[in-house]
Amino acid sequence: MVVRITADFQQERVLHPAAMAQLNQSFSKGWADPNKLNANSREVAILLQQAREKFANTLKVRPDEIEFLGESDLGFQLGICGLLKSTSNLYYSSIDRQRVFAIAADEENKGRKVSCLSVSNTGATNSYTAQDDDVVVWQVANGETGNTQPVNPTSGLIFADCTASGVDLLPNFEYQTALFDSTAWQGPQGVGILVIKEAERWRNPLPHNDFTRAPGGFSTPLVLASAQALSAYLAQEDVRAQLKKYIIEFISSQISQVDIASEADGLSKFVSFSISNLEADRLLLELESVGFAVDSGSACKSADMQPSHVLAAMNRPITGNIRLTIHKDITEQMVKDFCQALKSAVLKLRKN
């Protein structure tokens, strides 16, 4: 018997219904090259410019500072390496995404000095001193715990990683480049938004023959659907802060031997906690059997149940870990039902 999922707290999310309706129509239409001069191309160029202006208005940047990407991970390469000069050192933290780790390792192999900054048990990056030409990777919010940084970066050229925070929490500090992922507002996968605020301090690190700043291989229908999803997402009521507070208070009072890695005042959509004397995969399957889908392991590789390097870097327990993503369509009743199901599942598994 297959149990119907009644509340999905997994990180991956289906495309927003408002974008799905447009996407079906968009793909059936076919799209001309926006760089050509015919009427169809001009229409496409206008639609893309309208989408660019919508993103710019929401992200509080200029339209000409935005580049669309056909793969959000490419934005890490463009945003970070585009700021690096021959004399630059590279700073990143031990809770950054695996893609950042890969870039740092590659740069170190090329002979560049890189520094991995340690963090506190809440994920706060320890102090550093960077020169003007050094590049600092700065997470606006962590994609597992939702925790934010208590202080802002003060030196170096800043790449702001906004892939987890999306439009829920924009950078409140000066930065040179930033990356957003469409899935953060329930848009389609395969759309990244790269912001280049100081073009004179950035160069395209990829092989190129002209003045383009990013490959043009993005999907026009996906970009337009992402813009549609963004509008719908912003229009939705948001009570996730209250729901997160309820979950944290319930777990703290009703379940013993639990370590909650998420700060209550962090990004409201993420909750991460670890329960002692339990195997995460068994707890995950037990919750799924009663209708609740959750995640475990690293958010960078949520499908393979790999231990979280984020929790390890924070010196937090990595066994028995459960990660929740609270989406805007999650209701208070769903959260209450989940908490009771979690309590029952923990009691059941600890008896066995």
pLDDT at 303: 45
pLDDT at 154: 85
State the DSSP code for 5.
P
Domains in the chain, ordered, with CATH? 17-235 (3.40.640.10), 237-351 (3.90.1150.10)
* pLDDT tens track for 202-247: 999 988 777 788 887 888 889 999 999 999 999 999 999 999 999 9
* pLDDT tens track for 64-73: 999 999 999 9
pLDDT at 306: 64
pLDDT-flagged residues of the chain (< 50): 1-2, 302-305
Three-point CA angle 318, 322, 325, nearest 5°: 130
pLDDT at 35: 64
- What's the CA gap between 206 and 204, in Å, rounded? 6
For residue 266, give both structure tokens: 């962090």
pLDDT at 3: 54
pLDDT at 5: 67
- Please give the full DSSP string across 320-349, using - where no structure is assigned: TEEEEE--TT--HHHHHHHHHHHHHHHHHH
